[in-house]
């Protein structure tokens, strides 16, 4: 039975907004000559990509591949033959960070072409979902029914609540037809809404209350495991993965602070997700280890302890978050092998082979 990496990205620079990178880097990398100098300098200064500068340069260099197929070939080459990959498009068109050269519809078309170019279900595409797009429900249904897309991809930090009422018909459809969903669930970082929160954003979709919160606090509320409670309660059969298992900072918080590391939003999101899984109240709930385990080798030991609980081990998926974590060429294989070695073959089979089939609806 093949390995399934449940969380990779193949988007390119063309799919990111103009102000995605920090200034002045956003200006420099647009000029081919300066961009080549930047990449050369990174290889000279940090050939093994051990510093933040080197790793960041590698991410930017990967993003400047001409096609998603070129990006996919990099990650594919670090895993055994026959490994399958859940490819997650990124819709950054509404994050108020400038123009995106290639919109989400074209990005989806390119992912479909990537799927067709790799027969044998090696590419398992999910459709990016943002309620602020007109006709989002009809478009997403078309992608799943006519174009081979297997699931939904949400990214609330770009400026929407996951329980947005415009998505309710889509969640009902996904539950009825067994379409899984995967959402970003670690505290907001570089990919986040950049503007002033609108009244629509500040209006709670459950209570209708207008929230007097700053931008980051609001985005954090959108992204928290708590934001998914009403959704999981309304659609208990919807398979929903809270990706990143709360995020590396919250894993650190869990290790460094007493007990469950606070209350409310201060409580470790790892602890919140663990509580949700162990409660047995949310039968459709899953999580994955993407980014979190690839950003810090130490976390693999905590993961092994957590997976000793069958309630937890049956709901965790293997994923890497390629290519937005570390240096792909030096770290993707090294860290996946380390995870496999520390966990042992039985646990690794559970999260990388058995659980993905359950999440994707193949068993």
Report the pLDDT averaged over residues 179-207: 95
pLDDT of residue 265: 62
* Out of 19-28, 122-131, 193-202, 258-267, least confident range: 258-267
Question: Is 210 within 8 Å of 199 (Cβ atoms)?
Answer: yes
- Comparing C-alpha atoms, which of 347, 248, 348 is closest to residue 295? 248
Residue range 4-11+77-360, CATH number: 3.20.20.140
279, with CB counted inside 10 A (0-12, 13-18, 19+), is exposed
Report the pLDDT averaged over residues 317-321: 96
pLDDT of residue 155: 98
pLDDT of residue 164: 97
Residue 264's pLDDT band (cuts 50, 70, 90): low
Given a cut of 80, whether residue 261 has pLDDT beyond it is no
Question: Is 190 within 8 Å of 184 (Cβ atoms)?
Answer: no
- Domain map of the chain by residue range? 4-11+77-360
Report the pLDDT averaged over residues 296-320: 95
pLDDT in tens, 216-251: 999 999 999 999 999 999 999 999 999 999 999 999
């Amino acid at each position: 039975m093949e390995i399934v990496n449940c969380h990779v990205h193949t988007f390119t620079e063309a799919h990111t907004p103009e102000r995605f990178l920090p200034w002045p880097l956003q200006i420099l990398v647009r000029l081919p000559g300066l961009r080549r100098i930047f990449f050369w300098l990174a290889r000279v200064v940090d050939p093994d990509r051990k510093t933040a500068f080197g790793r960041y340069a590698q991410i930017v260099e990967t993003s400047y591949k001409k096609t998603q197929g070129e990006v996919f070939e990099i990650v594919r080459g670090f895993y055994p033959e026959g490994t399958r990959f859940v490819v997650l498009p990124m819709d950054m068109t509404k994050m108020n960070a400038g123009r995106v050269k290639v919109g989400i519809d074209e990005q989806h078309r390119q992912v479909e072409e990537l799927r067709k170019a790799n027969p044998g279900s090696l590419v398992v595409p999910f459709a990016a979902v943002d309620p602020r797009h007109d006709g989002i429900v009809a478009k997403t249904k078309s992608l799943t029914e006519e174009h081979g897309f297997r699931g939904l991809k949400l990214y609330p930090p770009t400026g929407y609540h996951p329980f947005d009422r415009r998505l309710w018909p889509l969640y009902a459809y996904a539950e009825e037809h067994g379409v899984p969903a995967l959402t970003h669930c670690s505290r907001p970082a570089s990919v986040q809404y950049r503007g002033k929160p609108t009244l629509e954003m500040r209006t709670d979709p459950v209570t209708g209350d207008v929230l007097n919160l700053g931008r980051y606090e609001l985005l954090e509320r959108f992204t928290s495991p708590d934001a998914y409670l009403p959704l999981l309660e309304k659609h208990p059969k919807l398979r929903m993965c809270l990706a990143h298992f709360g995020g590396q900072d919250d894993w650190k918080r869990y290790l460094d602070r007493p007990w469950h590391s606070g209350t409310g939003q201060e409580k470790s999101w790892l602890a919140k997700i663990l509580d949700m899984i162990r409660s047995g109240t949310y039968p459709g709930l899953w999580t994955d280890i993407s980014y979190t385990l690839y950003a810090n080798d130490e976390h693999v030991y905590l993961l092994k302890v957590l997976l000793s609980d069958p309630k937890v081990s049956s709901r965790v998926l293997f994923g890497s978050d390629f290519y937005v974590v570390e240096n792909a060429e030096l770290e993707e294989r090294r860290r996946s092998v380390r995870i496999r070695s520390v966990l042992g073959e039985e646990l690794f089979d559970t999260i990388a082979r058995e659980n993905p089939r359950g999440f994707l609806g193949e068993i």
